Amino acid sequence: MLQLIKAGHVCIQGGGWCSTVQECIYRARTARGSSSFMSPVAFAGHLSNSPLENPGFHNWNRVFIRYCDGASFSGNVNEPLIVSARGHSMRLFFRGQRVWEAVMEELLTRQGMLNATQAILSGDSAGGLAAFHHCNDFKKKLRGDTIVKCLLDGAMFLDMPSISGVSLIKDLYRKVTTLHNVTSLSHTCTSKQDRGECFFPQYNLDSITVPMFFLQSSYDSWQLRNVIAPAIVDPSHAWSLCTTDLSNCSKPQMGVLQEFRQALLRNFRPLLGHPMWGMHIVSCLHHTEELYSYLWNGFTRVNNMTALQAFSKWYFGGGVVQNIDCAYPCNYTCR
């Protein structure tokens, strides 16, 4: 029971999005769409109970919210969609926002999290995007004197054009927010931009009121392969070797990747020097770190600090912790 230790860490699982009915039908038959197909998950990294792997957080109450919708727990469609699949009818629910509300109700009223004196909301990838959009609400649901901070792992998805010159991820987010009827986004953003754009963290930073820490690769492997050079705009697979191993990139390709890094850093620039915003930006080719022990508290470092050390210093110390790695290939600790 959460009453035993008054420190709670809620982590939201990632797993992409579905932007069409057909994609969501497929997703509904997987562990990313239904608890019927889920297997147990080992708690590692920031969820580990080992004082060696996860000092400072190993004895917290840890909750892992399995990803069971396709819109970062933001969908809000009243009625299920009845579809036909493989000769059978099935119901698709686009109610991620309501799943979030139900999980929080369970944790707060039945599991005792309302008694927490400290609380962290984190998430990786699409789960990190969920943590971003629910961070303020997470704080509001807890007691006013609870210390609340949020951690986003590999969730700074950028509104950037692919090598074709078109922002495919913006089109994806517009479809996701429409299909799932995402209505909980910041009004500060939606009063000026469409919902698809407001799904991006970069357009919502000024709406965040809770201290937030970013774990991020400046050469995010998922974004390089799905935003910058996805197969649909690279039919000859000229980029496939580059986006799986940076040492294989040609000079022009590396130029594109450095532009991605610079765009990422530009979005972080307004946050520099402010203790509310922590960051640990590595120049290694990977996507997320928090749930992998070898990345959370292993060999990889920035400014001689692991991700755990940087987050701990920021969370417990309260000062400015903003580690930004030099450009590839300078970090010899990348593995």
pLDDT tens digits, one per residue of 37-51: 999 999 999 999 999
pLDDT score for 154 = 99
pLDDT tens digits, one per residue of 159-208: 999 999 999 999 999 999 999 999 999 999 999 999 999 999 999 999 99
Show Cβ contacts of residue 191 under 8 Å, excluding neighbours closer than 6 positions.
none
Active-site position among 19, 48, 72, 125: 125
DSSP code, position 207: G
Length, in residues, of the chain: 335
Q: What is the CATH number of the domain that holds 103?
A: 3.40.50
Residue 245 appears among annotated catalytic residues: no
Side chain identity, residue 278? G
Residue 220 appears among annotated catalytic residues: yes
Average pLDDT of the chain to the nearest whole number: 95
pLDDT score for 15 = 96
pLDDT score for 89 = 87
Show Cβ contacts of residue 291 under 8 Å, excluding neighbours closer than 6 positions.
11, 44, 45, 46, 47, 124, 153
Which pLDDT band holds residue 140 (cuts at 50, 70, 90)? Answer: very high
Which pLDDT band holds residue 331 (cuts at 50, 70, 90)? Answer: very high
Stretch (H or E) spanning 308: helix 307-317
How far apart, in Å, are the Cα atoms of 280 and each of 50, 104, 154?
A: 22, 28, 11
Classify residue 138: in a domain, yes or no.
yes
Classify residue 331: in a domain, yes or no.
no
pLDDT tens digits, one per residue of 207-218: 999 999 999 999
Other beta carbons within 10 angstroms of residue 51's beta carbon come to: 11
pLDDT score for 33 = 87
Token digits of residue 107: 């944790």
How far apart, in Å, are the Cα atoms of 113 and each of 108, 117, 207, 209?
A: 5, 9, 25, 21
| pTM metric for this prediction | 0.96
Stretch (H or E) spanning 24: helix 21-28
Other beta carbons within 10 angstroms of residue 264's beta carbon come to: 22
* Distance, CA of 194 to CA of 156 (rounded, Å): 18
Classify residue 23: in a domain, yes or no.
yes
By residue range, what is the domain housing residue 69?
7-324
pLDDT score for 4 = 47
* Distance, CA of 285 to CA of 265 (rounded, Å): 16
| Pairing outcome for strands 7-12 and 61-65 | parallel
Classify residue 2: in a domain, yes or no.
no
Residue 287 appears among annotated catalytic residues: yes
* Cα R_g (the chain), whole angstroms: 20
Instruction: State yes or no: pLDDT of 3 exceeds 70.
Output: no
Closest CA to 181 of 267, 94, 102, 93: 94
Instruction: State yes or no: pLDDT of 120 exceeds 60.
Output: yes
Other beta carbons within 10 angstroms of residue 23's beta carbon come to: 17
Which pLDDT band holds residue 1 (cuts at 50, 70, 90)? Answer: very low
Instruction: State yes or no: pLDDT of 295 exceeds 60.
Output: yes
Total structural domains in the chain?
1
pLDDT tens digits, one per residue of 149-171: 999 999 999 999 999 999 999 99
pLDDT score for 335 = 78
Which pLDDT band holds residue 2 (cuts at 50, 70, 90)? Answer: very low
Active-site position among 124, 153, 220, 234: 220
- Report the percentage of the chain scoring pLDDT > 70: 99
Classify residue 335: in a domain, yes or no.
no
Instruction: State yes or no: pLDDT of 314 exceeds 90.
Output: yes
pLDDT score for 86 = 75
Classify residue 312: in a domain, yes or no.
yes
How confident is the model over 69-98, as a mean pLDDT? 92
Which pLDDT band holds residue 11 (cuts at 50, 70, 90)? Answer: very high
Active-site position among 9, 133, 280, 287: 287
Classify residue 315: in a domain, yes or no.
yes
Stretch (H or E) spanning 254: helix 251-268
Classify residue 290: in a domain, yes or no.
yes
